Amino acid sequence: MPYLTVGRDAGNIDIYFEDHGVGKPVVLIHGFPLSGREWEKQIPPLVETGHRVVVYDRRGFGRSSQTITGYDFDTFAEDLRKLIKHLDLREVALVGNSMGAGEVARYIGRYGSMNIDRVVFIGGVQPYLMKSDENPAGLDLNVRTMLETAVKKDRLTFLTTFLENMYNAGALLGTRLTEEDLHYAWQIASMASPIGTLKCICTWWSDFRPDVAKINVPALIVHGGADRSVPLEGTSQRLQQAIRGSRLVVIEDAPHGLVTTHADKLNPLLVDFLR
């Protein structure tokens, strides 16, 4: 299995990645609290339409090292940069889902867009999730405190509730979601670093406005019309206004976990935009 060493703590910090197909490179960056496996419905159609698809597990998640430190977007973006350099990827499309959209924004904020062809944000928290007079539809910090408290008390029960909400299980179970989908996601999330799971929550309130201001490549923004986790009005709608020429697509009735439940709607958008 391919790994890239991106640093050291008690030992090597290794990032697990997969590299499929040939053609223009696309890097898929997963959301919380999952791994690169969440993209299994997107990888085949992208490979079949002539893309080299790279998918990796964020540090602390999936098969990557469960380090103690480095759970911040500066470090996540640096890990991504090292992977792009290691694979010698040119004119890359970056596709970030949920928390993964943070790596997309911070990467361009820190390293620029010289080698980036285009970007996709799916259910991201950009440009700034914090509730304020400027962003009344954002989330208050007490939500963060509530989530962190739940993880500290009982991480596995937290994951059950979080994933049911992420996929709108009450509305979609039996139609666009199966019990097996939920169980699979829970298994992936349960094996993630407990420390990483806790520390990643606070990163969602990072201020990406300086990063977003530097995005000058074609951008597609996708959000679920029934997203209960990340408010559309406080994030993607504002992101579309902040990125000149960007396109926002709202998928009707889709939850936050739309890469699984609404792959039939998302995949044609990705194929068309990345063509």
Q: What is the pLDDT of residues 57-85, one digit of tens each?
A: 999 999 999 999 999 999 999 999 999 99
- 155 contacts 218 by C-beta, under 8 angstroms: no
The residue type at 139: L
Spatial separation of the C-alpha atoms in residues 91 and 74, rounded to whole Å = 22
- Helix crossing, 155-166 with 194-203: angle to 10°? 50
Which tokens go with 77? 């973006």
C-alpha dihedral (152, 36, 42, 253), degrees to nearest 10: 10
pLDDT of residue 1: 64
Annotated active-site positions, please?
A: 98, 227, 256
- What does DSSP assign to residue 9? S
Residue 80 near residue 54 (C-beta atoms within 8 A): no
Residues 196, 236: Cα–Cα separation, whole Å: 25
Residues belonging to the chain: 275
| pLDDT tens, per residue, the chain with 275 residues | 699 999 998 889 999 999 999 999 999 999 999 999 999 999 999 999 999 999 999 999 999 999 999 999 999 999 999 999 999 999 999 999 999 999 999 999 999 999 999 999 999 999 999 999 989 999 998 999 999 999 999 999 999 999 999 999 999 999 999 999 999 999 999 999 999 999 999 999 999 999 999 999 999 999 999 999 999 999 999 999 999 999 999 999 999 999 999 999 999 999 999 98
DSSP code per residue over 263-275: HHHHHHHHHHHH-
What's the rounded Cα separation, in Å, for the pair 206 and 197? 16
Kindly state which CATH superfamily the domain 3-274 is placed in: Alpha/Beta hydrolase fold, catalytic domain (3.40.50.1820)
| Rounded-to-integer distance, Cα 275 and Cα 116, Å | 15
Q: Any idea where the domains of the chain sit in the sequence? A: 3-274
- Name the helix (H) or strand (E) containing 122: strand 116-122
